[in-house]
A and B are shown apart, each in its own frame.
Chain A
Amino acid sequence: MPTHDPPRPSPPSPRTYPRWTIALIAMALILHLNYWLWDHDGIVMGLPVNFLYHVLLSLLLSGVMLLLVRRAWPAYLDDEGPE
């Protein structure tokens, strides 16, 4: 147990992973199921609609991950002092 608090670069977050991260991930999971485009056979930008949907979703996921590592990066990970 460390007897002193490590210096923190940003205001300490109350939890290792804030609640909104869970909401964000839940949203991504729901979007992934893509129940609404299953039977569409249109072709947009050269790709079948539901293929394009998932490709765009993958691109969006990069943004989601960016939010996670920027806004919800657990502080203890960057603390590399001796135990």
Chain B
Amino acid sequence: MILTVIVLYLAVVLSVGLLAHRRSRGTGEDFYVASRSIGPFILLMTLFGTNMTAFSILGASGEAYREGVLVYALMGSSSALIVPLVFYFVGTRMWWLGKRHGYLTQVQFFRDRYGSEALAVGLFAVLVILLLPYVLIGVKGGGDALAAVTGGPGVGLPSWVGSLAVCSVIFIYVTFGGMRSTAWVNTFQTTVFMVVGAVAFLVITRSYGGLAEAMEQVRRSVPQLVMVGQDRHTLLTMASYLLVPLSVGVFPHIFSHWLSADHAKSFKTTIVLYPLCIVVVWVPSVALGVIGNIDHPQPFAGPILVQLILENSGGVLAGLLAAGIFAAIMSSLDSQTLAVGTMFTQDIVRPYAFGGELPEQKQVLYSRIFIVLFLAAAFVISQITTRSIFSLGVWSLSGYAGLFPLVVAALYWRRSSATGALAALVTTAVLWTVLLVRSQSVEGVYTIAGSGVMPVVLIVAGSVTALVIGSLARPALDPAAVERFFPPAGRKSREIGLRMALGAPKAGISKLVLGQGLRPAGWGLAMGFVLAYLPARRASRIDPVAALRAE
């Protein structure tokens, strides 16, 4: 029964993907960004689905089982706040630039904006490397989910079956239909995992006598799970988690969805409804994880959500749950795969192997080849690696968040320079690697010097500092060249014209413009220092005796 539901589900996914393919116009732009034709509803569903991964369903409920309702505050709530703001401030402007200058990838924009090949190649490498652990989570998650739903280790299907199924289905519709198939399929999948979450939530809470009764039972047995105030989770942790979702401003797979929008106003629906979508998916996930404590005292090995479903409902719901998990996984994996295929072709093959001259049909062919190779590699690596990669997920996000200042500077700070951007890129890469290595020797969640400050804070602060210092250390880029990347000044240029007409000296105008450029830089520096100072001060106050005893 479970398997029938899953096979049916995958068949529907494939048909939606192939149906979208029939609308294809056969051009490169159609393959990469669906001819920039996606409307508000599909944009919302595909962007949201791309952001929800296996973690949002399995990981969130597992974390909530261990840590309690705090997980919603740390992860769901911070996404509901930060992600739509990033779409509003960054997504729309990237879309505007993409349409204006015909970009298909982030690297194309950065190469143009700063005129630096070193930055372009470095950025390409970092973006792709950070994507790998994220992709592996999906491939492995698909295998683990199928194995768990069909009976667990030894009894159910071996994990490679699910991984292979996920990779094969994605391979078919992404190579065929490119962005349009991806967007359509994601819309379907997002609907599926929203509905499945709601159904699972209703069925399970009912069998515990309703939500209120279930929560009451948890409060009686493990009271700290219904509170946020646990020792380790200080205000600092709460604040530092706000930086993690900044990563959506840097994800290559989110970028290509932005570019696929038909008009800027199509973003409005996504921006307004995003927080509601978070509620729909995260509330069931977190609540069910917490409720899992009633019948399963900690620690519980394996996905708690799958366990609850298997105990409280029949085969159809278990099959649907697996389909829902597949939906969450595949709606991210397809976009990531497409983005990598696009980047390899547009950022490396086209400029370096063909000097920019490559017919569109050939470009699409190369992208398809890369998509196949990338999926095959992801599948093989997922089978040979034994370590838990779930924990690498938040690291992947932290790395991307470290590049966020670079995106903001490129879009909003005229005075930023290639040197600054490169400095930020290198700083992010170095800090990320150092902190990742250090975290290996720590049990549980790694925070800076045990202070509650997440590594992401140090990475972002370092990146901002490097960006500002690096930019100010070099002469500014030619203002005329930079102006192409900013909205027509309208009022400001009129103001300057007026001042000049009234006889304002040139030096005065330069000072005015320079002052306006330096102000954000000052803010950035100040913020960077505060962010770096807080953990440092906390670290210096650690009681050595208590710290050693904690070992």
Contact = CB atoms under 8 A, between A and B. Distances in A.
Contacts of B267: 69
Interface string A55-66: 101110110011
Contact of B211 (A16, A17, A47): A47
A55 B88 contact: no
- With most chain A CB atoms within 10 A of its CB, the pick from B72, B92, B93 is B72
A41 B226 contact: yes
B77 A65 contact: no
Given A38-B228, A47-B211, A61-B81, A55 B488 contact: no
Nearest to A80: B263
A65 B84 contact: yes
A76 to B, nearest CB: 4
- With most chain A CB atoms within 10 A of its CB, the pick from B228, B229, B276, B493 is B228
Nearest to A76: B487
Nearest to A43: B215
Interface string B513-534: 0000000000000000000000
A37 to B, nearest CB: 7
B276 A59 contact: yes
A45 to B, nearest CB: 8
Given A46-B212, A58-B278, A51 B226 contact: yes
Given A33-B238, A33-B239, A61-B275, A39 B227 contact: yes
B73 A34 contact: yes
Contact of A40 (B72, B227, B242, B490): B227
Given A46-B210, A69-B88, A83-B100, A2 B488 contact: yes
A29 interface: yes
B219 interface: yes
A1 B493 CA distance: 10
B212 A6 contact: no
Contact of A1 (B235, B278, B483): B483
Given A62-B276, A76-B96, A37 B215 contact: no
B69 A51 contact: yes
A55 B283 contact: yes
A63 to B, nearest CB: 9
Interface residues of A, number: 47
A68 B76 contact: no
A69 to B, nearest CB: 4
B261 to A, nearest CB: 11
A25 B271 CA distance: 14
Contact of A34 (B228, B242, B276): B228
A77 B92 contact: yes
Contacts of B92: 74, 77
B248 interface: no
Contacts of B488: 1-2, 6, 76, 79
A68 B211 CA distance: 34
A47 B264 contact: no
Contacts of A50: 69-70, 73, 227-228
Interface string A1-25: 1100110000010101100000001
A38 B279 contact: no
A61 B80 contact: yes
Interface string B207-232: 00011100110010001001111000
A46 B229 CA distance: 19
A73 B491 contact: no
B242 A41 contact: no
A32 B275 contact: no
B227 A62 contact: no
A82 to B, nearest CB: 9
A77 B488 CA distance: 10
Contact of B227 (A32, A48, A54, A76): A48
A48 B215 contact: yes
Given A50-B69, A69-B272, A78-B265, A16 B215 contact: no
Given A39-B229, A76-B488, A54 B273 contact: no
Nearest to A60: B275
B491 A12 contact: yes
A69 B226 contact: no
- With most chain B CB atoms within 10 A of its CB, the pick from A47, A48, A66 is A48
Nearest to B89: A17
Interface string B462-492: 0000000000000000000001000110110
A80 B142 CA distance: 42
B77 A62 contact: no
A19 to B, nearest CB: 13
Contacts of A35: 235
Interface of A: 1-2, 5-6, 12, 14, 16-17, 25, 28-29, 32-35, 37-41, 43, 45-48, 50-51, 54-55, 57-59, 61-62, 65-66, 68-69, 73-80, 83
Interface of B: 69-70, 72-73, 76-78, 80-81, 84-85, 88-89, 92-93, 96, 99-100, 210-212, 215-216, 219, 223, 226-229, 235, 238-239, 242, 263-265, 267-268, 271-276, 278-279, 283, 286-287, 483, 487-488, 490-491, 493
Given A1-B483, A14-B491, A80-B263, 7 more contacts: A1-B488, A32-B242, A37-B228, A50-B70, A62-B274, A62-B275, A73-B268
29 contacts: A1-B488, A6-B488, A17-B89, A29-B81, A32-B77, A38-B229, A39-B227, A40-B227, A48-B69, A48-B215, A48-B227, A50-B69, A50-B228, A51-B69, A51-B72, A54-B73, A58-B275, A61-B80, A62-B274, A62-B275, A65-B271, A65-B274, A69-B267, A73-B268, A77-B92, A77-B96, A77-B265, A78-B263, A80-B263
Closest 6 CB pairs of A and B: A38-B229, A77-B264, A46-B211, A48-B226, A76-B487, A46-B212
